[in-house]
Amino acid sequence: MIILQLTLIIGGWTAPAMAITEEQKLVSETWRIVNRAYLDETFNHQNWWFIREKAIRQNLKNREETYSAIEKMLASLDDPFTRLLKPNQYRSLQVSTSGELTGVGLQIALDAETGQLTVVAPIDGSPAAEVGIQPRDRILKIDQFSTDELTLDEAATHMRGPIGSTVTLTVQRFDTTEIEEIELVRDRIALNPVFAQLRSESSVAPIGYIRLSQFSANATEEVANAIQTLDKQGAKAYILDLRNNPGGLLQAGVEIARLWLNDGTVVYTVNRQGVLGSFDVVSPPLTQAPLAVLVNQGTASASEILAGALQDNLRAQLVGEKTFGKGLIQSLFDLSDGSGLAVTVAKYETPNHHDIHKLGIKPDKIVPTKALTRNQIATDADPQYQAAVELLMSEFALADAA
C-alpha cells in the first residue's frame, strides 16, 4: 500500500503552466534588467524575487496598469534615479542629450532627503533662466498639479509643451519661506552646450572663457573647438564655467576632462560587487595653460566628475560654492514596447577616492553666489568670475617672480 501511494504521487497529473501575458512579460523584462544591473545587490534590503512574484501575479488588464505595477516595483528600491520612462518620456530624454526640446528649460531632481521636486539648474537662455529660477528652488505645483503627487518624469512632462503655450509654476525659493507663482511661456530650448569668448580684462594675459551648460552628445567636440579657437586667438589661461550645469552623458564628462589632463585617472566607478573600474587619460591635452573652474550648487553629476578630476589631478582650482552632490551613475535600457528604464548601475569616486554623493565637492576658493541677470554672468558684476580671474593672474605673477 505504501509503495502504491508513492507511485501515484510521483506519476500524478500536474496542471499545465498558465501562458504568460504580454503585460506580465514586460514586468518580468523590467525585473530581469534591474536584477542584473542594479547597484545595490540587496535591493534596498528586500527579497527582490518576492517583489517580482507579487507584481507578476496581478491581473494586469492594459499597459497603463502594467506601467503602474512596474513603477510600484521600482519604488520599493527607494531610488528616484531608477525609474520607468514611458515611450514619450524616453524619446524626450533621448532628444535632450542630442537635439532640442520645447518647454521651460529646467533640469530637475527629487531631493534625496525630503523627496521634494527641486531645481538642479535652469538651462542657459531658457524661459526659466530668464525669470530668475535658481538651483535648489523647490517646485510645489505645476499648474494645478501638486508635485507631491507626481513622479520626476511626470513633472517633466507637465512642464514640456508646444511653443507659445503657458505653464504656471509655484516655486518656493531656496532657504526661504517665500512662495511665488510664476507664469512661463514655453519655448524651444537650444541645447548648444558651449559659449566661448576671449577676454582681455587683465593686462597680464588674455583669458579664454568657456561656459559649458550641459554634457550632451556634441559637448566634447564643441569644447575642443573652443579651446583650439581660443588658443589661436592668443589665450594664455582659461576659465571653465560649470555653474548650473546639471550633467548629462558620463562619457562626455570623461572625454572633456581628457582635453585638459596630461595624465592620471579621470574617475573611478564602483559596481555592485565593489569592483573598481576607471577612466584614465589616454592622450596629451589640448592645452596646458592655467585653468580655473567655476562651480556652484547647480553643478551636478557629470559636471562633478569633470570638476573632481581637474581638482584632484591638480590641473585646476575650483572657485565658487559646494557642488550639488550626485555621485550615482545610471544606464538606459530599452524595453520591448518602446519604453525605457533608467537604472542606477554604479557610483563614482573622484581620482582621490572621494565619494561625493549627497556631499558635493568643496571648491578651493569659496565665493558665495550672487543673483545675476543673464547679461551679468562672467562680467565685473560676477564675483565668482572675478575671483577666478584674480586667481589666474596671481599664478602668472608667481611664475614671473620665480
Stated pTM of the model = 0.75
Read off the amino acid at residue 22.
E
Q: State how far the Cα of 102 lies from the Cα of 125, in Å rounded to an integer.
A: 13
pLDDT of residue 190: 67
Q: For residues 202 and 207, which has the higher predicted lDDT (pLDDT)?
A: 207
pLDDT of residue 95: 61
pLDDT of residue 105: 87
322 classed as catalytic: no
Q: State how far the Cα of 94 lies from the Cα of 91, in Å rounded to an integer.
A: 5
Contacts of 210 (CB under 8 A, 6+ apart): 194, 195, 196, 223, 226, 227, 230, 238, 239, 240, 241
Q: For residues 400 and 219, which has the higher predicted lDDT (pLDDT)?
A: 219
Q: Where are the domains of the chain?
A: 21-78, 100-189, 194-401
Task: Work out the average pLDDT over 310-339.
Answer: 95
Cell of 332: 538606459
High-pLDDT (> 90) share of the chain, %: 65
pLDDT of residue 2: 32
Cell of 305: 566628475
**Structural domain 21-78, CATH architecture:** 2-Layer Sandwich (3.30)
Q: For residues 337 and 14, which has the higher predicted lDDT (pLDDT)?
A: 337
> pLDDT tens, 45-76?
999 999 999 999 999 999 999 999 999 999 99
Residue with cell 543673483: 371
> pLDDT tens, 279-318?
999 999 999 999 999 999 999 999 999 999 999 999 999 9
pLDDT of residue 291: 97
> pLDDT tens, 157-182?
889 888 999 999 999 988 788 899 99
**Among 151-155, 227-231, 393-397, which range has the highest average pLDDT?**
227-231
Contacts of 181 (CB under 8 A, 6+ apart): 168, 169, 170, 171
Mean pLDDT for all residues in the chain: 88
On the question of pLDDT at 234 being above 90, the answer is yes
pLDDT of residue 402: 45
pLDDT of residue 359: 94
CB 307 within 8 A of CB 352: no
Give domain 194-401's CATH number out of 3.90.226.10, 3.90.1150.10, 1.10.287.610, 3.50.50.60.
Answer: 3.90.226.10
pLDDT of residue 374: 73
Task: Work out the average pLDDT over 144-168.
Answer: 89
pLDDT of residue 339: 95
**Structural domain 100-189, CATH architecture:** Roll (2.30)
Select which of 326, 339, 347, 382 is catalytic: 326
Q: State how far the Cα of 108 lies from the Cα of 347, in Å rounded to an integer.
A: 20
pLDDT of residue 401: 45
> pLDDT tens, 69-121?
999 999 999 998 999 999 988 877 766 555 456 789 888 888 867 888 998 87
Q: State how far the Cα of 359 lies from the Cα of 361, in Å rounded to an integer.
A: 7
Select which of 92, 126, 216, 301 is catalytic: 301
On the question of pLDDT at 248 being above 80, the answer is yes
High-pLDDT (> 70) share of the chain, %: 90
Of residues 187, 189, 164, 161, the one with CA closest to residue 99: 189
Q: How many CB atoms lie within 10 A of CB 80?
A: 17
Identify the DSSP state of 260.
Answer: H
Burial of 354 (0-12, 13-18, 19+ CB in 10 A): middle
pLDDT band at 136 (very low <50, low <70, confident <90, very high): confident
pLDDT of residue 16: 44
> pLDDT tens, 380-400?
999 999 999 999 988 876 555
Burial string for 111-146 (b: 16+ CB within 10 Å, else e) reads eeeeeebbbbbbbbbbbbbbbbbbbbbbbbbbeeee
Select which of 79, 124, 312, 382 is catalytic: 312
Cell of 175: 532657504
312 classed as catalytic: yes
pLDDT of residue 217: 84
On the question of pLDDT at 152 being above 90, the answer is no
